[in-house]
Structure 1
Amino acid sequence: MIKIRKFQKFYDFLLENKKEKLELKYEDIEKIIYPEKLESSAYNHIAYFSNSKSHPISKIWLELGYKKTKLELGKYIILEKENFNINNKEVFMTNTEKGNDFEKIAKQLLEEYLKEKLEKQKKVEIGFKVKKEHKFDLGNDNYLIECKSYKWTKENNIPSAKISTLRETLYYFFLAPKNYKKILILEKSNLKNNETILDYFLRLNLHLIPEELILLEIDIENKKIIQKTIKS
C-alpha cells in the first residue's frame, strides 16, 4: 500500500478512473483532495510534478500506471497511461476492445459456472465509517466480481503497476459488505518460469488474500474456467 495520507482522495480518484488520458487543472486536483491543499511549490516549481517516486503525488500516479506528459505550471497537468500511444490511437482502441471482450467472455462463462445471472458494473457502498459507492466489474445480490486481462510485458517482465492494482482490488473486496462472495478472475496469461500472472501474484501476496476469496482463471482458447488453490 502506498503511503499517501494527504493524497488519499487523489489516489482513490485515479484508481477508479477508466480513462487513458486525464487533463487536470490545479483547481480540479484541489477539489479532489479537499480539505487538503497543494503546497505553494506546486505552483512555482516544475519539480513538484516530476515523474519521480520521491514526491507523494507523483508516486501515486506512477504506481497506478500513469505518467505526466505535460505540465503548464500553475494551470494544469496531463497524465496518461504509460502504455498509451498518442500517435497510434488504433492501438489504444484495440486494447480497450480486448478488455471489454474479456469481460463479456468472463460474464458468459461465470453465469454458466455459478448458474446465476450477473450484471455489469455492480454498485455497492464500501468503506469503514464513511461509505462511498464503488463499481465492481460484475456482480449480483450474491457476488462481487473483478475481471482482469493482464499479460507479462513485451520484454517478459513483471507488469508492476498491474500487480499493484491487484493488491488494491483485494483492499476493495475487504471494504465491501461481508454478505457478498468475492471473485477475482484473470485471463490465463502465458507462462513465465512456469507461472501465470495470477500464480505469481498469489505466491508473493498470500498474506493479503482471505481464505473465502474465490480465485479463477479463464483459458480463453478453450473457454474454460480454472479454479486456483492457494498453496501456503
Structure 2
Amino acid sequence: MERVDWRAFEDRVNRYFEQYFGRSFFREKEWRVGQEQVHKFDSVSKDGEIVIECKSYTWVNGEDIPPAKISTLNETLLFLSRVEAERKMIVIQDDFRDSDGKSFAEYYVDHYGGLMDDVEVWSYIPQSSIEDDEVEQIRESGEVYYEEL
C-alpha cells in the first residue's frame, strides 16, 4: 500500500492502539512539559498512562538521512522525557531505503537509542485495512540512564 498522509496516519495509529490496548484515547492532548512550555501529543490514553507521538518520515530521495526530521524526532524524545506515563511511544510510518532496504525506524533506534530511555519505538506500515496493518515494536522501553548514576 502507498503511504497515507500524516493526518490519516495519526487517525490510523489512534484507532489501532485503542483496539490494541482496549482503551480510549484523546487526540492532540496538551501536556505541560516545562515551566512555560506545553506540547500537544498526538494521542494520549484517557487515563494518561500511554502517550503516543506519530511521525511519518521518509529517506531523502529514497536513500539519504533527513537531518531535520532526525532533529524533530530527538525533540520528541525530549518532550516524552518530561511526562510521567506508564508507556511513552514514538510510532513511525516506516520507510525503507532503496539501496539496502534499511528501515527508517530501525536506523533511528540504531543511531539514537542511547537517548531514548523509557521510550518505545514502533514501526507502522498501513495496508488496505487496519486489521492488515503491519505494526512492530522496534524498541522496548529501557531504564532512564540518569537514575542509575
TM > 0.5 fold call: yes
Whether 1:120 aligns to 2:18 is no
Question: Which protein has the bigger strand share?
Answer: 2
Whether 1:199 aligns to 2:93 is no
The aligned residue for residue 52 of structure 2 is 145
The CA deviation string for residues 92-145 of structure 1, in whole angstroms up to 9 with x for no partner, is xxx9x8111111111111111111111111111112xx2432210111221111
The aligned residue for residue 72 of structure 2 is 165
Aligned structure 1 segments of 4 or more residues deviating by more than 6 angstroms: none
The aligned residue for residue 185 of structure 1 is 91
Whether 1:174 aligns to 2:95 is no
Q: CA deviation at 1:189?
A: 1.1
Query: Which one has the largest radius of gyration?
Result: 1
Could you tell me which runs of 5 or more consecutive residues in structure 1 were left unpaired when the two chains were aligned: 1-94
In structure 2, distance between residues paired with 1:189 and 1:155: 8
Equivalent residues of 2:63, 2:97 under 8 A apart: no
In structure 2, distance between residues paired with 1:112 and 1:155: 32
TM-score, normalization: structure 2? 0.79
For the residue of structure 2 that corresponds to 1:152, the secondary structure is coil
In structure 2, distance between residues paired with 1:115 and 1:215: 20
Which residues in structure 2 correspond to 1:70-81 (within 5 Å)?
A: none
Identity %: 24
The aligned residue for residue 133 of structure 1 is 38
The aligned residue for residue 145 of structure 2 is none
Equivalent residues of 2:29, 2:43 under 8 A apart: yes
Equivalent residues of 1:151, 1:197 under 8 A apart: yes
What letter is aligned with 1:152? W
Whether 1:216 aligns to 2:122 is yes
TM-score, normalization: structure 1? 0.52
Q: Does 1 or 2 have the higher relative contact order (CA < 8 Å, sep 6+)?
A: 2
| Change in CA separation of 1:225 and 1:120 when aligned onto 2, cut-off 3 Å | same
In structure 2, distance between residues paired with 1:190 and 1:170: 22
The CA deviation string for residues 143-176 of structure 1, in whole angstroms up to 9 with x for no partner, is 1110011111225211111011001100111122
Could you tell me which runs of 5 or more consecutive residues in structure 2 were left unpaired when the two chains were aligned: 141-149
For the residue of structure 2 that corresponds to 1:135, the secondary structure is strand
